[in-house]
Chains A and B, each alone.
Chain A
Amino acid sequence: KAGVTQTPRYLIKTRGQQVTLSCSPISGHRSVSWYQQTPGQGLQFLFEYFSETQRNKGNFPGRFSGRQFSNSRSEMNVSTLELGDSALYLCASSLEGGGPPGTQYFGPGTRLLVL
């Protein structure tokens, strides 16, 4: 089975621009979560989608948004980029079902540099 894929892997943008990142979960996985990782703040939860609905949201400004499609693929968007948005953005998918909260499988991440 293919793992979680994220595109693009690397991205350079300038302040004020917007960016869209894409995540394809493992086949059959219905939950997708997004994280931001920076050296200073570590791994921070952005949001989680399940069946096209946002189920949970972290403490990020409204410039960060996401969505999930009927095939479980997800995108996240950051508008009006700031220098501090430079980070590794990670996507994780999980298989929802009975039992414990789903184990998450992470993609390789998209490294965003804002100049």
Chain B
Amino acid sequence: DAKTTQPPSMDCAEGRAANLPCNHSTISGNEYVYWYRQIHSQGPQYIIHGLKNNETNEMASLIITEDRKSSTLILPHATLRDTAVYYCIVRGDRDDKIIFGKGTRLHILP
């Protein structure tokens, strides 16, 4: 079973920030939070990952709560090309199986 819970779908207006939540209440100390997205019929694309601190790259920002039980992926200025399924996963060790949940289907509204 997936170690994360995400809402099945979300809408966001084009140009606005998209905030995608992820619950990982059973995360352990050595587990990282990873975000990927999958645009229709393509392979998933890595977005960002973090352990404790907030992270930012050219694609997105990742905000992890202090207790690490949840996180939020922020796409600062959503465009139509950000329409995709977004997956949040946790993984601590290279021996861990990588389990994708159902993800959140993000619709960007023009």
Contact = CB atoms under 8 A, between A and B. Distances in A.
B98 A55 contact: no
A104 B98 contact: yes
A6 to B, nearest CB: 8
A10 to B, nearest CB: 11
Interface string A6-39: 0000000000000000000000000101010000
Per DSSP, chain A at the interface is strand
Nearest to A96: B94
A101 B94 contact: yes
A87 to B, nearest CB: 12
B78 to A, nearest CB: 22
Interface of B: 32, 34, 36, 41-46, 49, 51, 87, 91-103
B46 A56 contact: no
Per DSSP, chain B at the interface is loop
A46 to B, nearest CB: 10
Nearest to B99: A45
B58 to A, nearest CB: 15
Interface residues of A, number: 27
A43 B93 contact: no
B89 to A, nearest CB: 10
A30 to B, nearest CB: 11
Given A100-B32, A100-B49, A103-B34, A45 B42 contact: no
Contacts of A42: 100-103
Given A101-B91, A108-B43, 5 more contacts: A43-B87, A92-B44, A102-B94, A104-B98, A106-B43
B43 A43 contact: no
